[in-house]
C-alpha cells in the first residue's frame, strides 16, 4: 500500500471513529400535543434543533373532582396559557440516546421519539411518578 493510501486510510478511520463516538442527535423539528384524561389536561410543545438543543413547555391542570363546566374551562385556560407563554420558553441542552430524550445528566425519560410515525411521546410526572403519556405530532408551526 502506498504512503498516500495509508494516510488516506488512517484519516478515514479516524473520521469514522470520531463519528461513532459522537453524541447521538435528536431529530430536529417541532411537535405539539394535547391530552385530556379523567385526572389531567396537559398541553405540550417541543422544538428540537441541531446540537441537541430543546425548547419545551408542558402545562397541566388537575381535573379530579371538577364538574364538567370547570373541566372545559380548565382545558381552555391551559390552551390559552400555552400560546401566551411559549415565546418566553428558554432553550436547554438535552441528551438523546436510544430514541429517548432526557435532561442533561438526567435519568428519567422526558420524551421518547417514535421514528415510524415521527411522533414524540411526552412523559408527564406528578408527585414523582410517571402519571400520563402524551403523544405529540410533528407540526410545521404551532397552533395559535
- Element at 58 (helix H, strand E): strand 53-62
pLDDT, tens digit, for every residue of 79-91? 999 999 998 999 9
Answer with the residue of higher pLDDT: 90 or 9.
90
Is the pLDDT at 120 greater than 90, yes or no? yes
In this prediction, residue 113 carries a pLDDT of 96
| Cα(40)–Cα(120) distance, integer angstroms | 19
Using DSSP, state whether 111 is helix, strand or coil: strand
Tell whether domain 24-139 is in CATH 2.40.128. Answer: yes
pLDDT, tens digit, for every residue of 86-107? 989 999 999 999 999 998 877 7
Is the pLDDT at 65 greater than 90, yes or no? yes
Q: What are the cell numbers at 78?
A: 391551559
CA 45 to chain centre: 8
pLDDT, tens digit, for every residue of 10-51? 444 443 333 434 568 999 999 999 999 999 999 999 999 999
Amino acid at each position: 500500500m502506498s504512503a498516500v493510501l495509508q494516510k488516506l486510510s488512517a484519516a478515514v478511520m479516524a473520521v469514522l471513529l470520531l463519528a461513532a463516538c459522537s453524541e447521538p442527535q435528536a431529530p430536529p423539528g417541532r411537535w405539539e400535543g394535547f391530552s385530556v384524561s379523567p385526572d389531567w389536561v396537559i398541553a405540550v410543545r417541543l422544538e428540537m434543533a441541531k446540537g441537541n438543543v430543546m425548547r419545551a413547555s408542558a402545562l397541566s391542570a388537575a381535573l379530579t373532582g371538577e364538574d364538567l363546566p370547570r373541566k372545559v374551562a380548565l382545558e381552555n385556560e391551559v390552551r390559552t396559557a400555552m400560546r401566551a407563554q411559549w415565546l418566553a420558553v428558554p432553550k436547554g441542552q438535552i441528551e438523546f440516546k436510544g430514541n429517548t430524550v432526557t435532561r442533561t445528566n438526567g435519568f428519567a425519560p422526558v420524551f421518547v421519539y417514535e421514528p415510524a410515525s415521527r411522533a414524540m411521546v411526552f412523559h408527564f410526572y406528578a408527585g414523582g411518578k410517571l402519571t400520563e403519556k402524551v403523544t405529540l405530532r410533528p407540526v410545521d408551526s404551532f397552533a395559535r
